[in-house]
Amino acid sequence: MATGVNAQTLLVPGGDIGNSNNRNVELIDGSILVKSDPYASIGLERTNGAKISMGITSSSTESFILSTGTLKFLTNADATPKMFITTNGRIGIGTQAPTQKFEVIDGSINVKSDPYSFIGVERLNGATIRMGVTSDSHEGHLSSSGSIKFLTNGDATPRMFINTNGRIGIGTNTPTQKLEVIDGSILVKSDPYASIGLERTNGAKISMGITSGSTEGFILSTGTLKFLTNADATPKMFISYNGNVGIGTSNATDKLTVAGNIHSREVKVTVNAGADFVFENDYSLPSLEDVSAFVMENKHLPEIPSEKEMLENGLELGEMNIKLLQKVEELTLYLIQQNELNKQLMEEVAELKVKVNELSKEK
């Protein structure tokens, strides 16, 4: 034992300090080292039997702190414990009455480690769930040895469910697709634009959203766009990559191709010209004799497609209406000519009547 005014270390190899007359040992600016085998400890004990000790176990180099009652950790002579360990092994931080094995009140838990860090829970049967940061980036992760359920308000019904094969269910515990939402909607909010979409691994994708410059919605596809009903693989409407629309057909050769009937109250066709050129002075109106000869030979009007051509090629509605209007205007000119001829004939008939009457009077 080292003694004296300048002694700073008290070394007791396998012994005790104190006697029946001294209950307090005070050491200023020094250390106490206790050496013993198979274990060593140093402690404090009250006369009522309550004690706390700190030492090294007999079977290894592991250290321990032992209390006959609860164990409180205090700082700055504050009587309020900063950490609390109950006699049944529960640990409380910010609380002296932990209801779980580890409970933190009015604070957070921060785990730092490298190359990765996580915090988790594990059952005795091996089921685990962990939350952490991956080793190669700043990405966080949530992992479970089974499915992951997200619950609220202590309700046992999961609000969101991730099963072991990666399928996510919202409103269902048995998702059949990668993401399945039951009895609810999906709302995406963003600025300057918002969209939601699907993409295959080959890069093909389709998205639906709202443009950045207005409130207009859009549907965008990297290829053709098909509209189907009743899980039928035959598209009911088809929009090709060049903007052609097909209804009832996937072979849209024009801006709008319809394989079926169209029922409409009104159809407006924009045209590039009319048929009023027929009334111009320099228009060469075919003679009725020429028209008659053409019809007798070809069995259709001049400049009008034949029945065979119509069946093979169809009709250009705007062009055909102009052609028909041209024929109506030509017919009008023929009627005007006939009317002029009729007037001449009527005048000649009137003159003949006068002459006949005069001849009758002479007799």
In angstroms, the Cα distances linking 72 to 53, 82, 105, 134, 239 are 13, 7, 16, 35, 74
Calculate the average pLDDT of the chain.
84
Characterize the bridge pairing of strands 117-122 and 102-104: unpaired
pLDDT at 27: 59
Residue 20 binned pLDDT confidence (cut-offs 50, 70, 90): very low
Give the amino acid at 79: A
Which sequence spans correspond to the domains of the chain? 188-216, 224-262, 276-362
16-30, 145-159, 165-179, 219-233: the lowest-pLDDT one: 16-30
The SS3 assignment for 22 reads strand
pLDDT at 4: 41
Q: How far apart are CA 356 and CA 351, in angstroms?
A: 9
- Does the predicted model carry a pTM greater than 0.85? no
Q: How far apart are CA 223 and CA 199, in angstroms?
A: 12
Q: Is the per-residue pLDDT at 115 higher than 60?
A: yes
Q: Is the per-residue pLDDT at 5 higher than 80?
A: no
Q: For 120-174, how does the pLDDT look when each residue is reduced to its tens digit (9 = 90+)? A: 877 778 777 778 887 766 777 777 878 888 888 877 778 888 898 989 999 888 8
For 200-226, b/e burial (b = at least 16 CB within 10 A) is: eeeeeebeebbeeeeeeeeeebeeebb
